[in-house]
Structure 1
Amino acid sequence: MLVFDFQLQKDSVLDQALDDLYEKRATTREKALVSIIDAFNSKLQHEFVEKKFATLLHQCLNSIKKGSAKEIALASHTIGLLALTTGPGEKAQEILEESFSFILEALKTKSDITKILALLECLAIITFIGGDDPEDTEKSMQTMWQVVHPKLGPNVVQKKPSPAIIISAVSAWSFLLTTTDGWTLNSKAWQESISYLSSLLDKDDRLIRIAAGEALALIFEIGNLEKFYVATTGSNDSSNHNGINARELTHIQGLRARILNQVRSLSVEAGGKGSAKKDLNSQRSTFRNILDYLEDGYSPETSMKIGGESLNTTTWSQLIQLNFLKHFLAGGFVKQMQDNEVLHDIFGFSPKRKLFSATEKRISGTDKRMYKSPNSVLNKSRTRFLNKQRMLSQDRNAGRFAAADMGNDDV
């Protein structure tokens, strides 16, 4: 009975917090959003979302439109949690469709770093869950790219983004790149991204280098550079069996050699004056893993315990997804990983199941029915989502940096 009373109390807190989002006082709305985030981190709120989905989404969008930087950051995080709770399907698509223009507008006013970071993370999460159309994914990726590498007209001066914003945008961009097969992306944008990421490897900030290095490793895991040169140039020059002419092949080999040399140097870099040892060790470890992949095709394998069960990653794609979701969920990661079947599908993770009391089973019955009904929209969407993840994983396992299909290569 105590469990049931506690749950009623939690539900009333959520309902009150939702009501408080209508208040005029900004601090009241901010406290309400904090309460909602805490509730989502401590338990999957399927029943609340099923009843109050539209209200919560629209009030959060109103906060993004009119709120302070702090309120915008909190509302953005709440929308991301909302998408992870609903899982793939019509609701997730609605979240993306409704939120995109609000996020885009808020990103244009780059006044507060915390706000920008939260908006980028929100856009990544809602696109990852709700972006069924490849065009939606690319649109979000282009938005992120524009934040750090904008295309400007003449006589326009662009303020340089801070290291934190560069790291966040590159990480969010990479997170969405894990859901593509490479062919769906615009070829010119793809080439530009490789050159830009290579330039980031020369930056002073080690965390920027790590984010850029992981993004490059992912690009090579997804597929070879030569695919995109064919689509871009449309050249009729004599080509090899992959459709690459001699000039393009030389350019590709040069780019590969440059990146490999950068990675090799960063994997053994000595610490300089004032360098943070933790960041230096992290850089060396990351770039040793990248070097192993680029030279020999070995992806880093990781394992962590969640509730007594091992959560494993065996590809760059999985590692980037895991790191991004861990960062986004923060203190709520373990609980979400234990109970959220969307995350189970993404990582192929099967947690140990707890033994619930009769009261707890009654409370969570609605949640379970939402997932277990074989005819439910959510269940069908989850199945499609899982199939998509498996297909992409199989495709990527065949894509390696090694240049076996390129004939004799310098790298």
Structure 2
Amino acid sequence: MKSAPRRNTLAGYLDQLADSEKHKARAREAALEGMVQELARMLKRDEEFLDSNRMSLVDQCLRVVKKGRSAAELLMAARAIGLVAMILDDMDAAHEIYRDSAPKLFDAVKSSSSKLTMPAQVLECFAVLTFFGGYLSEHRLESMAMIWACFFHDSSDDGQGKKKEHSPELVAAAVSSWCFILSSDHCGISRAHWLTAIPCFYHLLGHDNESVVLAAAEALALVFEIDSLMSVPNSAAVDDNGTHGSSSSSSSSSYHLSKHDIAKKLNERERMLAMEATDDDEEGKEQQENIAASRLALVARFFEEGSSCKSLEATRKEGVMLTTWSERSQMAFLEGFLGRETLAEHIKVNKQLQSMFKSKMATKKKKLVGEKPTVMAYDVEREEVKSRLLYKPELKWKPDEDGSLYTEGSKQRLIQKKLTQSPASWLSKARTQHMKKLRQVAATDRSKNVMDPDYD
């Protein structure tokens, strides 16, 4: 008997996507949308199927990306690939997906029209894929270099010698994606990269779009937190155009970048946004501008007060204790990718996310109203890392000048053994020579005795 079709499951949507190649775009969009929804909530029934069919799923999505389907299809295919890389516990499997998919996703971003918001969202999927699939520093650095060369480097042009003009949404997404990848492995990436990044982000603080300003401000905060900004005043200078100059420049238009300069610039932009919010009559836009002004003010206080800023005290969000800019930026980026409620559900079961926020899952009993039975509620708490004294056993001997660690007694026994038992020792050689002489003397005496007529 033929089995019923697997509808409303990851397997069913994958079958629909494979069959939809012969049908209209609407069927492909429906299959991709259902697949993304199933991956986002990732029910237990689909985990085993995903482990065994991950490459088939990714190949189908890459086919959509390669053929240049509609913007909606491309975005959902990219989201599906990013979700698979995030969900998988097998790092090698996630890296295989990254290796096959990352170049194609980034090519889709570069070939898309800058007037659409879709490339910005696909770029975020590319960052998620790199974050979870590119587990080596060289992989993450390569993705960061691709983003930088495409959106920020002076030589990025349209093939006719003209510098490309990107939409504010795409520039903000590029900054956020670059920083999201950086936050995953900032210790494994050389500080030399900040010499270009910091002046560029500082220049973006003067951008007309508030989303670009916010992304650049929080990027500078992240770089400052990882102790990269501290080396800039002695090694780099920034001019009014945001270009990277020499520290020996004496031009009046150049000045050394410092925390004070950044805080001053942020405070100016914060006041401008606050004034615009006051003058704006639209309630929604006014609220958005007030939120942006508050975020800029927070970053400004961070640069003024450093890690002692009272506004940056540990906060609990999605059940996770956030204490650093790195964790805050990671949480904000993933909230934009998954949605707040979906991210909270993933943190409860996803080991990579729990390790990412240095968290541990704890179960607590919670009483419901009335006589209803208690249920288990998950709570994620930050696990503080404390330095501990390690036990170091005291050595009963000290190394000699030649680096040996033999004790005096063992060394004497070793010397005695070499002198007496080793075939190459002088004592063994002397003993051999002496025995040889004795044998020669004995042989000579026997020959003389044989020639003696009185020898019996």
For Structure 1 versus Structure 2, the TM-score category normalised by the shorter chain is 0.7 to 0.9
Matched, 1:345 2:345: no
CA deviations on 1:299-344 (whole Å, 9 max, x unpaired) are 62453464xxx32201000000000011101152222122222211
Aligned pairs for 1:320-331 (under 5 A) are 320-330=329-339, 331=341
Aligned pairs for 1:248-267 (under 5 A) are 253-267=256-270
Return closer, same or farther for 1:155/1:98 CA change in 2, 3 Å cut-off.
closer
CA apart distance, 1:228: 6.6
2:225 matched residue in structure 1:
221
CA deviations on 1:269-305 (whole Å, 9 max, x unpaired) are 4322438322322222222222222122136245346
Indicate if the aligned counterparts of 1:86 and 1:92 stay in contact, CA closer than 8 A: yes
CA distance in 2, matches of 1:266, 1:161: 22
CA apart distance, 1:351: 4.4
Matched, 1:171 2:167: no
Matched, 1:288 2:288: no
CA distance in 2, matches of 1:190, 1:97: 26
Q: What is the identity, as a one-letter code, of the residue corresponding to 2:13?
A: A
> Where does the alignment leave 5 or more consecutive residues of structure 2 unmatched?
238-245, 366-381, 387-456
CA distance in 2, matches of 1:249, 1:218: 29
Indicate if the aligned counterparts of 1:89 and 1:130 stay in contact, CA closer than 8 A: yes
CA distance in 2, matches of 1:316, 1:256: 16
2:12 to 13, 16, 26: 16
1:94 matched residue in structure 2:
96
Indicate if the aligned counterparts of 2:180 and 2:330 stay in contact, CA closer than 8 A: yes
Indicate if the aligned counterparts of 1:301 and 1:312 stay in contact, CA closer than 8 A: no
CA deviations on 1:57-86 (whole Å, 9 max, x unpaired) are 111111111122211100000011101110
CA deviations on 1:14-33 (whole Å, 9 max, x unpaired) are 21210122222322121111
2:165 matched residue in structure 1:
160
CA apart distance, 1:43: 2.9
CA distance in 2, matches of 1:286, 1:27: 41
Indicate if the aligned counterparts of 2:13 and 2:35 stay in contact, CA closer than 8 A: yes
CA deviations on 1:334-386 (whole Å, 9 max, x unpaired) are 2212222221111133445599xxxxxxxxxxxxxxxxxxxxxxxxxxxxxx9
Return closer, same or farther for 1:312/1:247 CA change in 2, 3 Å cut-off.
same
Instruction: Report the secondary structure of 2:206's partner residue.
Output: coil
Indicate if the aligned counterparts of 2:347 and 2:354 stay in contact, CA closer than 8 A: yes
2:118 matched residue in structure 1:
115
Matched, 1:126 2:129: yes
Aligned pairs for 1:257-336 (under 5 A) are 257-269=260-272, 270-272=274-276, 273-274=279-280, 276-298=285-307, 300-301=312-313, 303-304=315-316, 306=318, 310-330=319-339, 331-336=341-346
Q: Return the TM-score normalized by structure 2.
A: 0.66
Return closer, same or farther for 1:336/1:194 CA change in 2, 3 Å cut-off.
same
Superposition RMSD in Å: 3.4
CA distance in 2, matches of 1:353, 1:114: 41
2:76 to 60, 64, 74: 74
2:108 matched residue in structure 1:
106
2:148 to 135, 145, 150: 145
Return closer, same or farther for 1:336/1:61 CA change in 2, 3 Å cut-off.
same
2:61 matched residue in structure 1:
60
CA distance in 2, matches of 1:104, 1:288: 34
> Where does the alignment leave 5 or more consecutive residues of structure 1 unmatched?
1-7, 234-244, 356-385, 392-411
- Number of aligned residue pairs: 338
Return closer, same or farther for 1:206/1:88 CA change in 2, 3 Å cut-off.
farther
Which moved further from structure 2: 319-328 or 203-212? 203-212
Indicate if the aligned counterparts of 1:271 and 1:280 stay in contact, CA closer than 8 A: no
Q: What is the identity, as a one-letter code, of the residue corresponding to 2:229?
A: L
Return closer, same or farther for 1:301/1:226 CA change in 2, 3 Å cut-off.
closer
Q: What is the identity, as a one-letter code, of the residue corresponding to 1:348?
A: K
Q: What is the identity, as a one-letter code, of the residue corresponding to 2:161?
A: V
CA distance in 2, matches of 1:136, 1:117: 21
Q: What is the identity, as a one-letter code, of the residue corresponding to 2:228?
A: N
Q: What is the identity, as a one-letter code, of the residue corresponding to 1:285?
A: S
1:194 to 185, 193, 198: 198
CA apart distance, 1:197: 1.0
CA distance in 2, matches of 1:191, 1:184: 13
Q: What is the identity, as a one-letter code, of the residue corresponding to 1:37?
A: V
2:185 matched residue in structure 1:
180
Q: What is the identity, as a one-letter code, of the residue corresponding to 1:98?
A: D
1:373 matched residue in structure 2:
none
Q: Return the structure number with greater relative CO, CA threshold 8 A, min gap 6.
A: 1
Which moved further from structure 2: 64-73 or 77-86? 64-73
CA apart distance, 1:148: 2.6
Aligned pairs for 1:366-377 (under 5 A) are none
CA distance in 2, matches of 1:80, 1:198: 30
CA distance in 1, matches of 2:27, 2:152: 37
Report sequence identity in percent: 27
1:4 matched residue in structure 2:
none
Indicate if the aligned counterparts of 2:13 and 2:32 stay in contact, CA closer than 8 A: yes
CA distance in 1, matches of 2:31, 2:71: 15
Return closer, same or farther for 1:132/1:68 CA change in 2, 3 Å cut-off.
same
Q: Return the TM-score normalized by structure 1.
A: 0.73
Indicate if the aligned counterparts of 2:314 and 2:321 stay in contact, CA closer than 8 A: yes
Q: What is the identity, as a one-letter code, of the residue corresponding to 2:106?
A: L
Instruction: Report the secondary structure of 2:135's partner residue.
Output: coil
CA distance in 2, matches of 1:179, 1:27: 37
